[in-house]
Amino acid sequence: MKVFVGMSGGVDSSVTAALLVEQGYDVTGVYMKNWSQDLPGMVCPWKEDYQDAKRVAVQLGIPFKLYDFETEYRQRVVDYMLDGYRRGITPNPDIMCNQEVKFKLFLEAALADGADMIATGHYARIVHDTATTNDKRPTTNAASLHMAANLEKDQTYFLYRVTEDALKRSLMPIGEFTTKAEVRAEAEKRGLATARKKDSQGICFVGKVGIKDFLLHELGEQAHGAIFDQNGVRIGEHDGAIFYTIGQRQGLGVGGGLPYYVTGKDMAKNEVYVTTDIQDPTLWHDTLALTQLHWINNPPEKGKTYQVRTRYRAELVPSVFTWGAQNNRGELHLETAVRAITPGQSAVLYEGTRVLGGGIVGGFGNMQYN
């Protein structure tokens, strides 16, 4: 069984490759070159990451390749993100990267290159329903996505848009570890070059650069506009409505007294709205409009209660899904209101540990953003 492992130069994908070698798979390491552009004040770390991944491949004695997806990544992930910010929503590039690059482009390229399956260092578990063909080769009839054993690091929120067909041909062995310390211990035990390498931070493709700096670099300076409080009083000026997201508290540039929280914005008027009241009803919602729905196996059952996560690492909240007038839209009714739900982010449904799927938050009731 030939497995191509996406090796990012980090410890998780390094241990993934090592484990699969030890389990008897015919392993090839692949570094995906998605972004190489330097940004002001930060050199893109792709060359260092590539070399780290290659060092581990040499240690493991496996072939190593580079797949260049930079053009497609710009079109499918970066442009998607920039378009969302221009429209006033807060898109999630990590989710789109998994959907369009790691479990589409990478999978397709690996299969065309002779692989039977791919593997990644994600903290998630795939349950395969396997059978055996006439020539004794295992084949997968079905696959479902489940939370990782390490709930602190669980990444299924970012993986809910992966298809079942892609999961059938994917492995995620790191999902079985209960702590990050265990993963590092496995790397140390094998003497892997990345055993003590720190985890990457920041935007998925540009490292430590903050989102505002990246948007400034890509979209340029933005028109300034008014900031209004919950009483309609103008209390300050913002430096571009695209830089603000619902629930944001830091970086508003207005002070004196209680902290302010962003409750919304009007892109046409170039206005940002804030409140000092943490219980302000514009900050809390229990009914979400979902667009661009995606279900991994089967859609949710009518009237059945599931658990929903409205942002990465947020608490799970009981909810019921109802279909909208259009097939690709629906509403999610939460048992309790949740603060600072953000249009453009995702709401992901779970049944126990299994991920059903979900959709993009398009608005709340009559407030529709997309």
Domains of the chain: 2-189 (3.40.50.620), 222-275 (2.30.30.280), 282-368 (2.40.30.10)
For residue 58, the SS3 value is helix
Angle between helices 180-189 and 11-22 (to 10 degrees): 60
Number of H helices, E strands in the chain: 9, 18
Please identify every stretch of the chain with a pLDDT value under 70, giving residue numbers as ranges. 131-140, 201-208, 255-256, 365-370
Q: What is the DSSP letter of 193?
A: T
Helix (H) / strand (E) containing 339: strand 330-339
How many angstroms separate the Cα of 231 from the Cα of each of 227, 228, 234, 236, 244? 11, 8, 9, 14, 19
The pLDDT assigned to 39 comes to 81
Q: Which two tokens stand for residue 179?
A: 């702590």
Catalytic residue at 44? Answer: no
Cβ–Cβ under 8 Å, residues 225 and 269: yes
The residue to which tokens 């990267």 are assigned: 97
Write down the catalytic residue from 126, 167, 204, 241: 204
97 is catalytic: yes
Residue-level pLDDT at 353? 98
How many Å apart are CA 45 and CA 87, to the nearest integer?
30
Both tokens of 45, joined, read: 């770390």
103 exposed, middle or buried (CB, 10 Å; 0-12, 13-18, 19+)? buried
- The pTM of this model reads 0.92
Query: Residue 242 and residue 222: Cα distance in Å, rounded?
Result: 8
Portion of the chain with pLDDT greater than 70, in percent: 93
| Distance separating the N- and C-terminal Cα atoms of the chain | 43
Q: How far apart are CA 134 and CA 144, in angstroms?
A: 24
Is residue 248 within 8 Å of 262, Cβ to Cβ?
yes
- Active-site entry in 97, 147, 242, 289: 97
Give the rounded distance of the alpha carbon of 234 from its chain centre. 36
Identify whether the C-beta of residue 118 lies closer than 8 Å to the C-beta of residue 5: yes
